[in-house]
Amino acid sequence: MIIIGAGPGLGSSLAKKFAKEGHHVFAVRRERHSQELNSLCDEIKDNGGLATAIPADARDEEQVKNLFSEVSKSGSIDCVVFNIGANVFFSIEETTSRVFRKVWEMATFAGFLVGREAAKHLKDKGTIIFTGATASKRGGAGFAAFSSAKFGLRAVAQSLARELGPKGIHVVHTIIDGAIDHPWIKENFPDIYKLKEVDGILNPDHIAEAYYNLHLQEKTAWTHELDLRPYMEKF
């Protein structure tokens, strides 16, 4: 299985969960994160799992094509998780065209590229999971770039589900409605991160459990969209 965006937090938890269940995990992040990516895969292998680090930029079409071609040489692909966050916060006056375009490339365009290549390689069986956010459903103040990109990713996921579902490929879009236990949240939203002490933010290991269960679903009862939030989160 392939995880695009195997960073700290949910990405790492997903890699460890699927490896624990016997999957050979191909963990993907950009080249500048190679050291952390290798450390994650080494930890999985030290615990008896199978993991391969592949540095790649999901915004680059040729790199995405090469990624899937390389992984397919090791056997069939049964699950692909697109887990790139792309979360930024800027007032509309401070949102530059470069920021807006970059966030769209990370969340929407990259999601399209990964979804397209996954469809080619999964053929008629497997799971594609796209990680969404609260911003997938509503645009918040300061999140014009992020919300529009996540809206777009949700649309990509819906289109793929309608096209690929009848062929036997399970396409899922998750809405992670709340803060995840992640270094970025700890650094940028310390007051929210304090809620961890009372289970008020999402535990990435528990999200990973939900993702794995989605992958196991029988085609007679598929979930397309699943929202996950801590018990105290408003919605």
What's the pLDDT score for residue 21? 97
Question: Is 196 within the bounds of a domain?
Answer: yes
Q: Which of 104, 81, 103 is nearest to 29 (CA)?
A: 81
The CATH number given to whatever domain includes residue 128 is 3.40.50.720
User: What confidence score (pLDDT) does residue 92 get?
Assistant: 94
Query: By residue range, what is the domain housing residue 146?
Result: 66-228
Question: What's residue 235's pLDDT?
Answer: 85
Domain count, the chain: 1
Q: 96 lies in a domain?
A: yes
Residue 22 lies in a domain: no
Long-range residue pairs from 72-75, CB within 8 A, at least 24 positions apart, any chain: 72/121, 74/24, 74/26, 75/24
Whole-angstrom Cα distance, residue 53 to residue 25? 8
Q: Is residue 76 part of a domain?
A: yes
- The pLDDT profile of the chain, 235 residues, written as one tens digit per residue, is 999 999 999 999 999 999 999 999 999 999 999 999 999 999 999 999 999 999 999 999 999 999 999 999 988 899 999 999 888 888 999 999 999 999 999 999 999 999 999 999 998 889 999 999 999 999 999 999 999 999 999 999 999 999 999 999 999 999 999 999 988 888 888 999 999 999 999 999 999 999 999 999 999 999 999 999 999 998 8
* Cβ burial 178-196 (10 Å sphere, 16+ → b, else e): bbbbbeebbeeeeeebebb
Any domain includes 112: yes
Cβ contact 3:58 at 8 Å = no
Residue 82 resides in a domain: yes
What one-character DSSP code corresponds to residue 166?
Answer: G
Would residue 212 count as lying in a domain? yes
Asked whether residue 27 is assigned to any structural domain, the reply reads no
